[in-house]
Structure 1
Amino acid sequence: MNATFTLLEMRRITRDWGGMFFTAVLPAFFYLIFGATVDAKDASIGNGNVAMYVMISMAAYGAVTATTSIGGNAAVERQQGWGRQLGLTPLADSSYIAMKALIAMTVAAVPVLLTFTLGAATGARGSAGAWALSALLVLAGSSVFALYGLLIGTAFRSEAAVGAAAGTLVIFAFLGNLFIPLSGALLSFAKLTPLYGYAALARYPLTEGYLPDGSHDPLWLPIANVVAWLAIFGALTVVLVRRGRERQ
């Protein structure tokens, strides 16, 4: 992995103030609105409070926004000719992938760090283990959505499509119980959607599987959701990449 190229890519991404706002600042702002200032923020949930529940949710939203955008843009770059340019350099494909993965995880860590810092300063409460493990799960789980971005970028070969993919995360976030608590038939349907398992798993160290409506998710459910969507995104991406090579 080329350190100079990695730093240049990081500078290019962080110079996009609009993208960084939606990735890092907006989730933290949502936490302040939905978590830090609501009357129920001190209500107990699991081994902590509602403020921490919302904090983890908003950090997860910011992290997947980052990894989706970076994964999608990486696919578009290579399909629009950047891959041929890199082929003239000593940079191997494995190094390029490692570089993009490092950048995605670094950028995804920004909203996690910012939102967790605000949470600590505004009354989010939970066990020490819940704080540490939730942060790790938020960051690690967001890598699944780098595949989602890669899938969209490969399918449509357009930066606009990648932006639209990031936009669809808002819908997934609602269905994932990130913004408002769901119940009834809508909750049952939501458990099949991509962000539900990731968010539920990230909050599991806090909630121990209990939902705001009083129901309970066994640990296997969010794990199965994450594994299933990882397999779906991965398989579809492989199919599209192979088709693209056949056309060439």
Structure 2
Amino acid sequence: MTALTTTDALAPTSRTPRSGRAGLRRFVHYVRASIAALVREWSFLTFIIALPTVMYLFFSGIYGAEMSQAGVQVKAIMMVTMAAYGGLGAALTAGATIQAERSSGWFRQLMLTPLTPVQFFGGKVITAVAVVIPALLAVFIAGMIMGVRLPAGTWLAVGALLLASLLPMIVLGLVIGLWFKQQTASAVTTLVMLALSMVGGLWFPLDMMPGFMQTIGRLLPSYWAGQIGMWPLVDGTFPWRGVLVIATWTAVLVVIGALGYRRAVRTSRR
């Protein structure tokens, strides 16, 4: 699918008035084009999905037979945290698609179409979700291979909670893609992913870290994504504090992303 044909499909014509139905068709076409462009980067996607799966298989093979303090097998707990790590990396790919569009001039072409900012961001979120879901499933399948056995409802609950908790990470990827140049964005994305994973307790339990790092970790959405995703396994009180942290991060990042979008539009039209 070329930029020319996609632009033609997004542009208004006399036969396609600016109606709600036309806007929906334009949005669906943009989402399909974005996912198709991302799928072509199959080697990058393979790395994003395979790395957390391999890490889970390695660490669960060493520590998986142990039991956590909540009486749950460590391999099940590790499965959730590694799935959160994999979902985090996949969520941040939302910024990579923006960088590809900006470097190829496609973003500038989009600004000439009636695609609205809401449709633009909505398309990027759906595209990122299309990558996050396989990243979660890959680790879940690895968990099954390692002997994790959960009721079907628990599998669905863990997956749904992880997916919802990773929303700010998708928005963060968009912020990086909009605010940083292509040469810088990939490095920033990698550093952010490593920092959120390590300090957020996705690689090692937070209580193994120094006190000040534990304090920082509990302010990060990555930590609470793991905790919320883990809740169906350990029961207890639902981590509502994590919902507040994730909601706050999402609201702040949406504002920063909106400002970055306006800036990107201005610079693309020069």
TM-score normalised over the length of structure 2: 0.76
* Equivalent pair of 2:34/2:97 in contact (CA under 8 Å): no
1:226 aligns with 2:246: yes
- Name which of structure 1's ranges 43-52 and 172-181 shifts more when overlaid on structure 2: 43-52
1:109 positional shift: 0.8
Matches within 5 A, 1:62-101: 62-74=86-98, 77-78=101-102, 81-89=105-113, 93-101=117-125
Question: Quick one: distance in 2 between partners of 1:189 and 1:4?
Answer: 41
Report what 1:213 is aligned to: none
State the alpha-carbon separation in 2 of the partners of residues 96 and 63 from structure 1. 21
Q: CA RMSD in A?
A: 2.9
2:185 is aligned to 161
Corresponding residue for 2:133? 109
1:38 aligns with 2:58: no
| Contact 2:87/2:166 (8 A) holds in 1 | yes
Q: Which residue of 2 aligns with 1:171?
A: 195
Q: What whole-Å deviation, never above 9, does each CA across 1:5-52 have from its counterpart, x for those lacking one?
A: 5444333322324321331111111110122x0244352554742111
**CA separation of 1:235/1:94 partners in 2, compared to 1, >3 Å: closer, same or farther?**
closer
Structure 1 stretches lacking a partner, 5+ long:
210-216
The one-letter code sitting in structure 1 at the alignment partner of 2:251 is A
Distance 1:147 1:170, change over 3 A: same
Unaligned runs of 5+ in 2: 1-24
Following the alignment from structure 1 to structure 2, what is the Cα–Cα distance between the partners of residues 240 and 137? 28
**8 Å contact kept, 1:24–1:62:** yes
The alignment's TM-score, normalised by the length of structure 1, stands at 0.81
Instruction: In structure 2, give the amino acid aligned to 1:134.
Output: V
Match of 1:141 in 2: 165
Counterpart Cα distance in 2 of 1:10 and 1:163: 23
Q: Which amino acid aligns with 1:195?
A: S
Q: CA deviation at 1:119?
A: 0.7
Displacement after TM superposition at 1:86 (Å): 2.5
Does 2:146 match 1:122? yes
| Match for residue 258 of structure 2 among 220, 228, 238 | 238
CA distance in 2, matches of 1:92, 1:233: 19
Q: CA deviation at 1:154?
A: 2.0
Distance 1:246 1:201, change over 3 A: same
Contact map agreement 1:62 1:111 (CA 8 A) in 2: yes
Distance between the aligned counterparts of 2:122 and 2:55, measured in 1?
A: 31
- Could you say what secondary structure the match of 1:202 adopts? helix
From 20, 26, 50, the counterpart of 2:74: 50
Name the larger-Rg structure: 2
Per the alignment, do residues 203 and 47 of structure 1 end up closer, same or farther by CA in structure 2, a change over 3 Å counting? same
Tell me whether 194-203 or 22-31 shows the greater mean CA deviation.
194-203
Return the alpha-carbon distance in structure 1 between the equivalents of residues 252 and 116 of structure 2.
Answer: 27
CA contact (8 A) 1:148 1:233 kept: yes
